[in-house]
Amino acid sequence: MSGQGQRGMTLLIALILLLAMSLLGVSALQGASLQARMAHSELDRQAAFQAASSALLEGEWLLRHEPFDPTRYAPACPEGRCRQPPTSPATWSDAQWRKRSIGYGVSGAPPLPALVEPPRLVIDYRGSECPDPDAACRATFVIVAHAWGRRETTQSTLQRRVVMPLPAKTEAPSARLAATSSDMPPALVDEAWRAARR
């Protein structure tokens, strides 16, 4: 083979190696881009999950600090308080959540940053029982929370069953739960939330 032919063959091999290295580089960049998108989506899902968890805590806080009144709960879910609704809040559309639920922050809870909108919650009263005439009665609730992440398409819905002791029949219904967040100074509300988050 002549020297001219050898130089041509060397050039061809160099070009093939350069093309292979370029393909490997493009593939690595695509993989890194895909991993970055996956990490961003996971952070968004975690933000929605944490927001829904915070709304569940607020629902429990409301149950512990509002006087118990079973007449506030109805199938139409007035003010986010349900009693045997025809459809489970967990299956509601975004419009239903915005219209029929309690907005996060009504108790004085600190706002949650970087979300499309604050989470929403519903308190579903399932009934009460008094197992012993001398013992306190218990009311059962299911709190359902719905939250959005940093994008509206990222959503999380959580629910928690809560059994609350009710005052004994000899006590006034609101004796144990008389304090509400509106009666408490903001510093006490903040302190109560710090304790609830521990």
Q: DSSP label at 137?
A: P
Contact call for residues 164 and 183 (beta carbons, < 8 A): no
Report the pLDDT averaged over residues 170-179: 37
Give the pLDDT confidence score for residue 30 in this predicted structure: 84
Q: Across all residues in the chain, what is the average pLDDT? A: 80
Mean pLDDT, rounded, for 82-96: 90
Q: Which amino acid is at 86?
A: P
The residue ranges of every structural domain in the chain are 3-197
Beta bridge mates, 141? 125, 162
- pLDDT (average), residues 170-188: 40
From 61, 167, 142, select the one nearest 104 (Cα to Cα): 61
Between 106 and 5, the more confident residue is: 106
Res. 173: pLDDT tops 60: no
**Per-residue pLDDT tens over the stretch 108-167:** 888 888 899 999 999 999 988 887 777 778 899 999 999 999 898 999 999 999 998 886
Parallel, antiparallel or unpaired: strands 120-129 and 81-82? parallel
CA–CA distance, 109 with 189 (Å, rounded to integer): 8
Considering the entire predicted model, what is its pTM? Answer: 0.69
Q: Which tokens belong to 29?
A: 């960049």
Cβ contact 125:83 at 8 Å: yes
pLDDT of residue 2: 60
Using the Cα atoms of residue 83, residue 88, residue 90 and residue 92 in order, give the sign of their dihedral.
negative
pLDDT for the residue 103:
93
Checking if the pLDDT of 189 tops 80, the result is no
